[in-house]
Amino acid sequence: METTIILLGLAAFIVMLLLVTGFRVVNQVERGVVFRLGRAQPRVRQPGLRVLIPLVDRMTKVNVQIVTMPIPTQEGITRDNVSVRVDAVVYFRVQDPMRASIEVQNYLFAIEQVAQTSLRNIIGKSELDDLLSNREELHRGLALMIDSPALGWGIHIDRVEIKDVQLPESMKRSMSRQAEAERERRSRVIVADGELQAAQKLADASGIMSQTPGALQLRLLQTVVEVAAEKNSTLIMPLPVELLRFFDKAAQTATPAAQQDTAKEPENAAEGPRAVGESERPALDEGPRRAPEAAGTGQPDVVAARTTSDVRSA
């Protein structure tokens, strides 16, 4: 009797133990895949309290949260023969817990290896400028390369991003020199463009001033006002342009008059001796006339002699 009671108590304890071990709790961030006698059950266990058949069912829990997996630094050579070291990060989650438990042994390790291989392939297919500036295209291409095999494992690749691109020191110095030369070229182009625009504006302004002579004088006065406003410099005022033009016109008018006077001087020089000869003729004619008149004075011989000598000398 006592032996029967002990056996019944032992059996009850075993049953209770089996019943307790048959209860499983699935968390909110997990999904349960049940294997019954080694065969996966088609229904995935949702979060909550789940009852399993003791010694028959075995449940595997799969986390369905987004997993952040860093990709170790990969060294490669770009398409333009530049050695670089690139590291990235992958964001993924389990979309189908059944496939993630059956199709692949360890989906975390598998995704890591596929990500490393895909990153090296992307490095070899891309140029250095794409790695540095056009990363969006590389991100989409890398995500597509990783997602192709992961889709069969029930894994969804959310996004892939390149974290850092490490360049050799020699390449960094070359790129800095290239950037400096590019900035110098841009500055020279900007300066030349500014000079071209200024020259065009000056040409337009000179054309307008040439049509209106008073505009240049007004501009000169405006410049004088601007310089005199500072009161820290000496201003030498040049002659107005209009005054210089007046003197130029006066000189051009005086030149023909001087040439006419110069042409008249030889004519006056030629007429001079003839005038003098005609003036002496009356004196010569009056000589004999004065001789008789002088006779009444008592000195006819002297006067006549003088007159005769004067005529002879003439």
pTM equals 0.54
Would you say residue 152 lies in a domain?
A: yes
Work out the number of other CB atoms within 10 angstroms of the CB of residue 128: 19
**Which of 172, 204, 221 lies at the terminal end of a domain, its last residue?**
172
More confident residue, 226 or 120: 120
Tell me: do 72 and 44 sit in the same domain.
no
Would you say residue 193 lies in a domain?
A: no
Tell me: do 88 and 21 sit in the same domain.
no
Would you say residue 50 lies in a domain?
A: yes
Tell me: do 37 and 111 sit in the same domain.
no
Query: Rounded to whole angstroms, how far apart are CA atoms 11 and 30?
Result: 34
Tell me: do 84 and 164 sit in the same domain.
yes
Would you say residue 314 lies in a domain?
A: no
Tell me: do 38 and 72 sit in the same domain.
no
Q: How many independent structural domains does the chain possess?
A: 2
Tell me: do 59 and 74 sit in the same domain.
no
For the cut 50, the answer to whether the pLDDT of residue 310 exceeds it is no
Measuring CA to CA, which residue among 138, 118, 115 is closest to residue 128? 138
**Which of 139, 154, 172 lies at the terminal end of a domain, its last residue?**
172
Torsion angle of C-alpha atoms 48, 54, 57, 61, degrees rounded to 10: 40
DSSP one-letter code for 42: S
Query: Rounded to whole angstroms, how far apart are CA atoms 36 and 139?
Result: 42
Would you say residue 59 lies in a domain?
A: yes
Tell me: do 26 and 76 sit in the same domain.
no
For the cut 80, the answer to whether the pLDDT of residue 15 exceeds it is no
Would you say residue 26 lies in a domain?
A: yes
Tell me: do 48 and 86 sit in the same domain.
no
pLDDT digits (tens, 9 = 90+) for 35-53: 988 888 888 888 888 888 8
**Which of 172, 188, 220 lies at the terminal end of a domain, its last residue?**
172
Tell me: do 131 and 36 sit in the same domain.
no
More confident residue, 54 or 277: 54
Segment 277-299 shows an average pLDDT of 42
Instruction: For the sheet with 67-77, list strands across it.
Output: 67-77, 83-94, 155-166
CATH number at residue 163: 3.30.479.30
Please report which confidence band the pLDDT of residue 283 belongs to, taking 50, 70 and 90 as the band edges.
very low
Would you say residue 293 lies in a domain?
A: no
Would you say residue 17 lies in a domain?
A: yes
pLDDT digits (tens, 9 = 90+) for 173-226: 888 888 889 999 999 999 999 999 999 888 888 888 778 777 777 777 787 777
Tell me: do 74 and 168 sit in the same domain.
yes
Tell me: do 12 and 109 sit in the same domain.
no
Q: Which helix (H) or strand (E) holds 90?
A: strand 83-94
At residue 301, the pLDDT reads 41
Tell me: do 19 and 91 sit in the same domain.
no
**Full domain range(s) for residue 55:** 2-63
For residue 113, give the 3-state DSSP assignment. helix
